[in-house]
Amino acid sequence: MRGGSVAVVGGSVAGCAFARAAARGGAERVTVLERSPGHLEDRGVGLCVVLDRYDELVRAGHLDDGIRHHPVTARHWVARGEDGDPRGRVLWVQPMAMHSYHWGVLWQGLRERIPDGVEFRPGTAVTAVGGGGAVAGGGAGGGSGSGSGDVGAGPAWVETASGGREEYDLVVGADGHRSVVRAAVCPEARSEYAGYVAWRGSFDARLLDTLPGGAARWPEEEVITVCYPGGQVVLYRIPGLTPGSTLVNWVFYAPAPAWLRRADEDSDPLGFPVGALDTARHGELAELAERVLPPYWAGVVALTPVERILLQPIHDLATPRRTAGRLLLAGDAATLVRPHTTSGAAKALQDACAFEDAWRASDDWAGLLPGYDLERGEAGRALVDLSRRLGRAQVTGAPDWSAIDGPGMAAWWRGQLGTSGGFGGLALDRKPNPPSADGN
């Protein structure tokens, strides 16, 4: 298919990748509408892409070696030991080939790879969308979403906070967890709070030398998972924003603190972005780290300046459909997985690959939208299921770490994955299972 106009709501990982995919597919006009007024790069921390998914994404032209990353070769699972070893007792050394990224470096790389003809409009919040019968938001055409619609009944439209209304042939919702586009495509979909939080932090890796044993106690290519009753901490290095610099990045899964805020009784708890934590709340984290982690890893967490720590309640969400009328969902707007699968960024980029393939294979919108939905819908739901299993096995229903050894850990891990094969995201060429005779 050639021509047509596409609005992409959200200019983060999924938004940049979809803008590029639409332009490469042959769209005549592509516009990215991003709520944030400035560069997003300072707000992120670390994320990983497993090597198999990375290689697929490179072959598909959605990632390349020019975006700085750090190699990871093994995952060491440790727990506090009786013998007082500062690094803890090693439960299992798991081979694991991944690239770790600074979120901002990845975003900047994807942003730079959007072709010149695409308009990227920062500081533009979309307040309402509709198209083909599906409507959501607070604008003139807004109200509650219908979540249905005829693909042929375009065009789609967006309304922005400035009051303007614009029409497009297709609106892509790459607007993340609290997506306004999703409210039009499937208003019944609700994100679920997992019942625990992730504290996250990062700091200049040179500070490790101030710890007893220094940086040498932690080889650069190891990702460490420290297990404790009620949670775990995952630590790894990532490239810094400045070329040549390295950061330590950690994610500390823990029970929700009593003061976690909810906007109202029924809503999911809200997080604290970087810079919003006060010292009393930070003190709770420091006390927990001191109490449950081996001394070296408690020391690593303690090196993090309070203004570099954020708190994120863990949610997940599976949508029953990704398209309605001329609206389409991408990335976290389409499926939100718990971070244990290490797949958020890879999943968003895979969505863009599938969209580009569907675009090239279709003669019209009626072919493109269902093709994309079929290709990515089941994969997304399978990944959400896997992320729930991993979260239960590793956090809320974790085993007694003092009684487990290497072979026990390997069997425990295999039990979580089952036949899904999805750690790091499902393979791009995995075909969706056709519906069975009873529709399941």
Which residues are near ligand FAD by CB under 6 A?
A: 9-15, 33-36, 40, 43-47, 103, 125-126, 174-177, 180, 331-333, 339, 344-345, 348
Sheet bearing 126-131, strands edge to edge = 134-137, 126-131, 156-160, 165-168
Least distance from ligand FAD to the Cβ atom of residue 346, Å: 9
Nearer to ligand FAD, 175 or 409 (CB): 175
Identify which of residues 5 and 124 has a Cβ nearer to ligand FAD in the complex.
124
Which residue, 61 or 81, has its beta carbon nearer to ligand FAD? 61
Compare residues 103 and 252 and give the one whose CB is closer to ligand FAD.
103
For ligand FAD, give the closer residue by CB, 16 or 289: 16
The span from the CA of 22 to the CA of 19, in Å, is: 5
Cβ neighbours for 314, distance < 8 A, ≥ 6 positions apart: 193, 194, 195, 196, 197, 198, 253, 338, 339, 391
Q: How far is the CB of 122 from ligand FAD (least distance, A)?
A: 9
8 Å CB contact between 326 and 151: yes
Name the nearest CA neighbour of 336 among 407, 388, 263: 388
3-state helix, strand, coil in the chain (%, to 5): 35, 30, 40
State which residue, 33 or 197, has the beta carbon closest to ligand FAD.
33
Taking the complex as a whole, the smallest distance from the CB of residue 34 to ligand FAD amounts, in Å, to: 5
How far is CA 399 from each of CA 230, 336, 385, 392, rounded to the nearest angstrom?
10, 26, 20, 10
* DSSP character string of 113-164: TS-TTSEEEET--EEEEEETTEEEESSTT-BS------TTS--EEEEETTS-
Please, what is the minimum distance in Å from the beta carbon of residue 379 to ligand FAD? 15
Considering beta carbons, is residue 88 or 344 the nearer one to ligand FAD?
344
Q: In the complex, what is the shortest distance from the CB of residue 129 to ligand FAD, in angstroms, rounded to a whole number?
A: 9
Task: Encode 26-51: b = buried (16+ Cβ within 10 Å), e = exposed.
Answer: ebebbbbbbbeeeebeebbbbbbbbb
Check if the beta carbon of residue 334 is closer than 8 Å to that of residue 352: no
Rounded to the nearest 10 degrees, how much is the dihedral formed by the CA atoms of 119, 120, 123, 128? Answer: 70
CB of 434 to ligand FAD, least distance (A): 27
3-state secondary structure of 77: strand
Annotate 248-291 with DSSP letters as a single string: EEEEEEEEPPTT--BSSTTSPBP-B-TT---HHHHHHHHHHHHH
Complex with ligand FAD: residue 80 or 376, whichever CB lies closer: 376
Closest approach of Cβ 212 to ligand FAD, in Å? 29
Residue closest to ligand FAD (Cβ): 331
In the complex with ligand FAD, which residue's Cβ is closer, 44 or 149?
44
Please give the torsion angle defined by the CA atoms of residues 315, 318, 324 and 327, in that order, rounded to the nearest 10 degrees: 40
- Nearest distance in Å: CB 348, ligand FAD: 4
- Between 9 and 134, whose beta carbon lies closer to ligand FAD? 9
CB of 45 to ligand FAD, least distance (A): 4
CB of 415 to ligand FAD, least distance (A): 25
